[in-house]
Amino acid sequence: MRAFTRAWAGLAIAVALSGSVAAGASAAPATAGRPVAAGHPAAAAHGFTFIYTCGGRAFLAPRAYVIACADANDVLVFMHWQAWGFATAFGHGWEAINNCAPTCARGHFIRYPVTVVLWGRNRGLRPRYFTRMTIIYTGRRPRRFPVTRTLRLGRHGPS
């Protein structure tokens, strides 16, 4: 079992919140991995749909994404998006979850390989954003989660 060090997890969280790393997927938009203002010309012209972070910032194809907004003990990292479009987005990477042993402050992040599908869009509102995230574990998975789980997304990240 491989564990993340606290430094790597901190770096992943910083990347997710700052958006300073560009995505490597060729199907991702030119503004991939960076925060995008609502109505950004590049995004609007190509009809892309956004994903919002915990802080309410819009992103296209982020390389990292915090799932547990309260404590950042669950984060998607090293994401590579094969497709990012109007109705769906599809990619793979790792979900890093803090094992909280002996405590969450002293725990280690354990990585699990995942495929992520973003789907469901807000209706009639601008900017468009995804409202659902389905995480599919492609190998080992945490005991407390099923092989597939779906999260609701909103204007302030996962809920």
pLDDT digits (tens, 9 = 90+) for 73-128: 999 999 999 999 889 999 999 999 999 999 999 999 999 999 999 999 887 667 88
How far apart (Å, rounded) are the C-alpha atoms in residues 148 and 70? 22
Range of the domain at 28: 3-158
Residue 14's pLDDT band (boundaries 50, 70, 90)? very low
CA distance 135 to 79: 12
Of 7-11, 44-48, 101-105, 117-121, which range is least confident? 7-11
What percent of the chain clears pLDDT 70, i.e. is strictly above it? Answer: 69
The 3-state DSSP composition of the chain as helix, strand, coil percent (nearest 5) reads: 10, 40, 50
Is the distance from CB of 104 to CB of 62 less than 8 angstroms? no
Cα dihedral: 69, 154, 115, 98 (round 10): 10
**pLDDT (average), residues 10-33:** 41
Give the chain's domain count.
Answer: 1
